[in-house]
Each structure stands twice: as structure tokens, then as C-alpha cells.
Structure 1
Amino acid sequence: MPDSLPVHLNRTDIHSLEVPKEFDATGSFDVQLHNHGEALHVHLHLDDSLSSIASLDAPNHYVQADTERPVRVTIDGDGPVRGKLKVVTAHGAETRYVDVFIPEGGTENEPVIVDDDLAKPQPKPATKSEPGLEDLSAGPVLAAGGFTVLIAGLITLVLTQNMLLTVGAVLAVTIVLGLLFVAVRSS
């Protein structure tokens, strides 16, 4: 479990602030804001020496009444470093400083924090399949049908030399192609 720096808010009086004088961090740690009273704003600031190897998730925090809120201080570099963490309540009503020491090798043995969302199955991406007959637009289908009707009509006219038979063959092929087109569109 990571180290935790306790900060007590509103415990003795409104906007009161209680912090330890010093804190030794063996790696990244949480500033644990314990609010014992009314809601208030807390500002955290790392001095220049601490900010050279550490960073805050955010400097300003609203802490609701009678709640606890952790604020992560991430150690990104290697110590030894000694610096000050400034803690301010209620827009400057109270200010305290904590001497923070990060020893050499302060980032060793850091736990890896894994987001809970990684444990949930992820949806599979849609695979692109070959276009089916239903993906064809009406233009190519009608063009193919018209060409087929024309060829069927010419073949019938040449073979039979009967205009009535030719018109019947063209009509039959047109009906079959129309039914095929309707069946493809409705599926």
C-alpha cells in the first residue's frame, strides 16, 4: 500500500488545518484530506525542489463536508530530495508547510496501478466482409437486368423471327429480374 500523508481539516475549528511537520516518502504517495466539518477548498503546492521529481494530480481541491479525499503525489524522478509541501485552506485562511523527504531510489518498488476498466471485456471491432448481393445499389442491378433483357430479346428474335414470342421472352426475363431485385432488397 502506498504511503499516505494525513491532513486534518476543520477538526478543532472552522478552516483549521493540522499536518505533520515532516513526511518521508518512499515513493509516490497520497495526501489524505480528512474533513471533519463544513465543506472547503484546499490548495496544495510543491516547492521547486520537490516539483523537480514529483507532481500533483491537481493543485486545487473541493472537499465536501465530513468526507475524505486522497490527492496523489506522483514521484517521477530519483532522490534524494528534501522540499516543502504547502497546504492552504479556504483561499488562504490557514497555511501550513510539511517538510517532505524523498530518499535516493524513491521510485523503486512502485506499485503498478491498473485501471478497473482494463478488466472488462472490450467489444470486438467490426470486421469488414466482402460485399454481398444486398450491398449492391439499384443502378448496377438494373443495368445488368436491362442488358440481359436486351440479349434475351435479340436471341429470341433471331431464332424465331416471331415478334410476339420476342416480346413475351423479354417480359418474362424482366419479371424474373424484378422479383430477384425485390428479394435482394427485402433481405
Structure 2
Amino acid sequence: MPERLAVHLNRDQPREVAPEAARLETDRSFVLAFENHGGPLHVHLHLDDALAKVARPEQTQIYVDEGETRRVEVVIPPDHAPTKGYVDLVTGYGAEEARVNVTVTAERKDGGPDVAVDETLSEKQQVEVESESSAGEVAWPAVGAGVAVVVAAALALAVSDGVAVFVGAFGLLAGVAAAAYVLYA
């Protein structure tokens, strides 16, 4: 995920441009987030020659409306050379200017590839659970198994010992089959 540097516009005075940090060290692409606290404003973005050899901004002329935040990614390819340079941020036709010193390192700090994470990931997700069967559909096999066990017990009491064992075993197997159906269906 690209690193982010906030740049405040019109915070204390008209056409003011104030980055949150005067320097940035990175090994990958980064985003300049222009947060406008006042009236509409044009910002000109300029990379010095050294930084321009390894980095390319998506836009160099940025219009930021009142109360708006605009993000501009400065793209640095993965196979870049290490370099030092700066980004000039200019407003008011050159009346106000700020500079961010940028050091681009060759090695990745985290040792892994970029992973883009959308801002919506931090929002609470709605989970909808859909049941394929109702409680009644699940209960009927269990009721049937219970009835079968009761019938088997009644038959066992009514008939001789040999038949009673057979009927009892049958009832037990029917109960196990019904339980398996309820669990795995």
C-alpha cells in the first residue's frame, strides 16, 4: 500500500500549503493527500530532476475544492534506483510554496510486495446469514426418530425375548440413522 503524506491547504491563511512532514523516506509509491480547509485552490506539483528519474506523479495540476481532499499518487516502479530529491508544492501562481524532501531507498522496508487495502476494510461489515432449512424441517426427523424408539420399546414389551432384541436393535439403528440425517442434512 502506498505511503501517505497529508498536505494541508488554506488552514491558517489563504493559499497556504503545509505538508505534515518536511521529509519522506520511502521504498515505494506514495500518495500526497491535499486537504483543503478553505476556499477552492489550484496546486502545482513539481519534482526535481533527480526524483523525476524514478518517480512520476499522476497529476501535476491539482484543483482542490473547498472542504475537499484530493489524493495524487506519485508512482515509483518496483525496480527503481535509490535517489534523493524533492517535491515542490506551489499555490497562488507561485505566491506560496512548500518543499518535501524525498529519499527513495532501494530495499523494501517490509520485504514484501505492495498490498492494496481499500479504506472500506475498516468499516463494519454487514453479515447476512441465510438458513437453508427452517426449525420445523429439522424437528420432524427428530420427532420421527423419537416415535420409532417408543414404538420399538412398546413392541419389545409385548413380544417374546428373541423378537424383542430384534425390534430393539432395529429401533436403535433407526434412531442413529435419524440422528445422522439431522446432523448431516
Superposition TM-score, scaled by structure 2 size: 0.57
Please name the residue that 1:162 is paired with.
Answer: none
Q: Distance in 2 between matches of 1:99 and 1:91?
A: 21
Matches within 5 A, 1:1-187: 1-19=1-19, 20-76=21-77, 77-105=79-107, 109-111=113-115
Q: Deviations over 1:108-163 (max 9, x none)?
A: 6234699xxxxxxxxxxxxxxxxxxxxxxxxxxxxxxxxxxxxxxxxxxxxxxxxx
Change (3 A) 1:9 1:100: same
How many positions carry a matched residue from both structures? Answer: 114
Q: Residue 91 of structure 1: SS of its match in structure 2?
A: helix
Tell whether the 8 Å contact from 1:16 to 1:94 is kept in structure 2 after alignment.
yes
Q: Distance in 1 between matches of 2:73 and 2:34?
A: 11
Structure showing greater Rg: 1
Q: Distance in 2 between matches of 1:106 and 1:11?
A: 34
Superposition TM-score, scaled by structure 1 size: 0.56
Q: Distance in 1 between matches of 2:115 and 2:49?
A: 26
Q: Distance in 1 between matches of 2:116 and 2:35?
A: 25
Q: Distance in 2 between matches of 1:111 and 1:55?
A: 20
Query: Residue type matched to 1:79 in 2?
Result: A
Identity of paired residues, percent? 34
Please name the residue that 2:140 is paired with.
Answer: none
Change (3 A) 1:49 1:106: farther
Query: Residue type matched to 2:73 in 1?
Result: R
Runs of 5+ consecutive residues of structure 1 not aligned to the other structure = 115-187
Q: Deviations over 1:33-81 (max 9, x none)?
A: 0100000000001111111011011110110001100001000242321
